[in-house]
Amino acid sequence: MSLRFLMVAVAALALSTPALAITGGTVDGGAHPAVGLLLADRGNGPEPACSGTLVSSTVFLTAGHCTANLSSARVWVSFASQWTPGSPLLAGTAHTDPLFGQDKKDSHDLAVVVLDAPVGSITPLALPAAGALDTKTESVVAVGYGADQPAADKKNPSFTFDFTRRWTIADVGGVSKTELRLSARAGGTCHGDSGGPDLLGSTVVAVTSHGDDACTKQSFAYRVDTAGARAFLSQYVRLP
């Protein structure tokens, strides 16, 4: 699917599976400068695809389903708080967790983009210690660039994108071995927020993974503090 830029209604912003803008969320501005927009070339040059986070000067963390089915691993990242076709882009190479889609008990929905050059102007966000979410967590802050309104027609949902970074507070309704179940207090994650961070302070504890197609109910985020996630991430970034 080809995405036209700015304020365009489409059925999804993620690259493969239905995934999750922050509908009704707060415009971020400069609150989370390390959260960026992932762009991929599907035949028309770089187009918005998913969200993600700078976790080292050269590593951008996102969701595995955002990169798994690309025709080329060459992608781009923008840290503009509102992306336009003229926004600066940083090139890099995507690496999807090789176990993505291979394990029925664990989606391994993680990927990284190794950037061609270090980003010196943005402070990366931290990754968690092993098992950080094994203790009770009340809420997280979700950040992303996806659709800004929930679907009006839940049977035939379409969405509007302005490619603006937004955030919202999401209550943690449950924690499984690999995922968080989330319910946003105001707004919620939607198509295009896939790969965006779920934050405890300045630490990325999970990435937005999947949820209700109409963006009106619960969503799920993939934990990055598990042994499986850490095994993949440790190949690209130093972990606490």
Report d(CA 175, CA 164) in Å as an integer: 29
Q: What is the pLDDT of residue 158?
A: 67
For the chain, give every domain's residue range: 132-225
Asked if 39 and 77 count as a contact pair (C-beta separation under 8 A), the reply is: yes
Q: How far is CA 121 from CA 67, 153, 225, in A?
A: 25, 42, 27
- Model confidence band, residue 151 (pLDDT cutoffs 50, 70, 90): low
- Model confidence band, residue 188 (pLDDT cutoffs 50, 70, 90): confident
Candidates 3.30.470.20, 2.40.10.10, 2.70.70.10, 2.60.120.590; CATH matching 132-225: 2.40.10.10
Sequence-separated (6 or more) residues with CB below 8 Å from residue 104: none
Report d(CA 5, CA 136) in Å as an integer: 41
Q: What is the dihedral of CA 74, 57, 50, 222, to 10 degrees?
A: 120
* Entry pTM: 0.89
Whether residue 162 is predicted with pLDDT greater than 90 in this model: the reply is no
Q: How many residues make up the chain in this entry?
A: 240
* 46-68 pLDDT tens trace: 999 999 999 999 999 999 999 99
Q: What is the pLDDT of residue 190?
A: 83
Report d(CA 103, CA 218) in Å as an integer: 23
- Higher-pLDDT residue of 24 and 207 is 207
- Model confidence band, residue 1 (pLDDT cutoffs 50, 70, 90): very low
Q: What is the pLDDT of residue 9?
A: 30
CB count in 10 Å sphere of residue 131 = 12
* 68-121 pLDDT tens trace: 999 999 999 999 999 999 999 999 999 999 999 898 899 999 999 999 999 999
Q: What is the pLDDT of residue 12?
A: 34
Q: What is the pLDDT of residue 56?
A: 98
* 121-144 pLDDT tens trace: 999 999 999 999 999 999 999 999
Q: What is the pLDDT of residue 17?
A: 35
Strands (E), the chain: 8-10, 26-27, 35-41, 46-54, 59-62, 74-78, 90-96, 111-115, 139-144, 159-161, 166-175, 179-184, 197-200, 203-211, 219-223
DSSP state of 151: -
Average pLDDT over residues 150-167: 75
Q: What is the pLDDT of residue 195?
A: 97
* 4-63 pLDDT tens trace: 222 233 333 333 333 444 676 889 999 999 999 999 998 888 999 999 999 999 999 999
Asked if 157 and 214 count as a contact pair (C-beta separation under 8 A), the reply is: yes
Report d(CA 38, CA 233) in Å as an integer: 18
